[in-house]
Amino acid sequence: MANPPFFEDVADAIGADSTRSLSRAPPKSASSAARQESQIDGGEVGFVKRLAEDSLIYQNNVGVFTTMLGKKRSVPIVRRILGDMKITQTSVYEMCQGRVMRWGIAWTFIPNFSFPVSEFRQKRKYHRPPLTYTLPPTVSCLRTYTRKCLFDWLLTELKDLKMHVLVQKNKQILGGYHIYAEAHEDTWTHARRKRRKALFLQQQHQQGQPLDAPTDTQLMGKKHPLPVCRETKEDVEVAAKRRRLEQTCEEGEAWLEELEHDLSGSTLTDHKPENQDPLILKANFYVESSLKGYGGGEEDEEETEIGENSMADNGDGNVDKLIISVEWLGGTDREVANRVLCYLK
């Protein structure tokens, strides 16, 4: 643990070369630190760099290294330095006391170590808009165009992807149910190609032909009832805007209130092995209709098919459609949830 000298020289200490606004009020308390306590060659970035170099030597003796930074612009520089040293397990924390802001950086060499997430950052996740997909009026994989049928199909698909799933009730204000899912391996990438290959080999086996591996041309030539994910120009533009938004703004529009659920004591439908791969996706999957809201529970059993009534005309000119929403909660990154949604398309 270290509280490094923040400044490089006297000019840095008095803020002569900083971008501090002239209208900003000066600090209320005067510094009582001696010069050798507040200034050092390279400033706080140079101090932390030397500390990180020493941590490579003592990585087997110390579990977690932490240090505090006094300037926000030092945070990305220090993270880049740690990345150049192949130190990948890092975490950044914000500390605020009155009008004083500080930033803490922690890193470790312990395999599969997970840093705790601050309550502020955990809440911020729920303010990001969900990933959504609106189903077309006719979907071949659904027996009936209802929320209940779509919910059951979605649950089966997630289980087929070897995810650990748990059906949970939504908040009372929302109604309906959602699927909480965790994934420890990528089973959706090239899944359609794997299905075509398995179907091709099965047909060869039934015809008594030698089981040769099919070529890509043979696979693409086989017609199959599986839906193909085709991105329209609008989808590409929306995806590009979403990426730019995530880069420039950490918080999107509020979509849901904070989901206060404790999954630590929940029993998932599948038993997790002791030596499992790291978690790559943790998300909630919702099913809703544009007019009736969320669904998926037993109360949807008597639901009339949307395609027979609402899709034609519900009297006020509005057209009801089924929607799948994915709320990313954690894992590698949010793009993993986007790829799963593309697979479902």
pLDDT of 182: 93
Cα–Cα distance, 63 to 140 (Å, whole number): 54
Domain coverage including residue 30: 10-116
In a domain, 207, yes or no: no
Name every residue whose Cβ is closer than 8 Å to that of residue 301 and which is 6 or more positions away in sequence: 148
In a domain, 64, yes or no: yes
N-to-C CA span, the chain: 48
Query: Which pair of tokens denotes residue 102?
Result: 């500080």
Cα–Cα distance, 3 to 37 (Å, whole number): 10
Residue pLDDT, tens place only, 305-344 = 554 444 444 454 567 789 999 988 888 878 889 899 988 8
Show which of 60, 93, 116 is a domain's final residue.
116
In a domain, 91, yes or no: yes
**Do residue 108 and residue 135 come from a single domain?**
no
In a domain, 209, yes or no: no
Residue pLDDT, tens place only, 246-289 = 544 433 333 333 333 333 344 444 444 555 678 899 999 999 88
The proportion of the chain whose per-residue pLDDT surpasses 90, expressed as a percent, equals 14
The number of distinct structural domains making up the chain is 2
Would you state the torsion angle of the CA atoms of residues 133, 138, 141, 146, taken in this order, to the nearest 10 degrees? 80
3-state class of 153 per DSSP?
A: helix
> Is residue 19 over pLDDT 70?
no
Q: What is the pTM of this model?
A: 0.46
**Do residue 101 and residue 22 come from a single domain?**
yes
> Amino acid identity, residue 35?
R
> DSSP letter at 208?
T
**Do residue 236 and residue 101 come from a single domain?**
no
Name every residue whose Cβ is closer than 8 Å to that of residue 190 and which is 6 or more positions away in sequence: none
**Do residue 222 and residue 111 come from a single domain?**
no
**Do residue 112 and residue 136 come from a single domain?**
no
Q: Of the given ranges (11-25, 59-73, 74-88), which has the lowest mean pLDDT? A: 11-25
Burial of 32 (0-12, 13-18, 19+ CB in 10 A): exposed
Show which of 59, 93, 116 is a domain's final residue.
116
**Do residue 268 and residue 340 come from a single domain?**
yes
Show which of 93, 116, 139 is a domain's final residue.
116
In a domain, 25, yes or no: yes
**Do residue 65 and residue 166 come from a single domain?**
no
Select from 187, 177, 122 the least CA-distant residue to 325: 177
Q: What are phi and psi of 134, to 5 degrees?
A: -95, 120
In a domain, 256, yes or no: yes
**Do residue 144 and residue 278 come from a single domain?**
yes
> Amino acid identity, residue 9?
D
In a domain, 210, yes or no: no
Helix 74-84 to helix 43-57 angle (10° resolution) is: 30
**Do residue 288 and residue 239 come from a single domain?**
yes
Does residue 37 contact residue 5 with C-beta atoms inside 8 Å? yes
> DSSP letter at 298?
G
Select from 343, 297, 340 the least CA-distant residue to 181: 340
Top pLDDT among 97 and 112 is at: 112
pLDDT band at residue 64 under the 50/70/90 scheme: very high
Residue pLDDT, tens place only, 140-164 = 888 888 888 999 999 999 999 999 9
**Do residue 151 and residue 52 come from a single domain?**
no
**Do residue 248 and residue 138 come from a single domain?**
yes
CATH code, 49? 3.40.50.150
Select from 127, 175, 115 the least CA-distant residue to 151: 175
For 79-116, give the DSSP string.
HHHHHHTT---EEEEEEEETTEEEEEEEEE-STT--PP
**Do residue 234 and residue 339 come from a single domain?**
yes
> Is residue 86 over pLDDT 80?
yes
Select from 194, 136, 154, 91 the least CA-distant residue to 283: 154
Residue pLDDT, tens place only, 186-228 = 888 877 677 777 777 777 777 776 655 555 555 555 444 544 4
In a domain, 310, yes or no: yes
Cα–Cα distance, 81 to 247 (Å, whole number): 21
pLDDT of 158: 93
pLDDT of 226: 47
Does residue 127 contact residue 112 with C-beta atoms inside 8 Å? no
Cross-strand bridge partners of residue 328: 283
How many residues does the structure list for the chain?
345
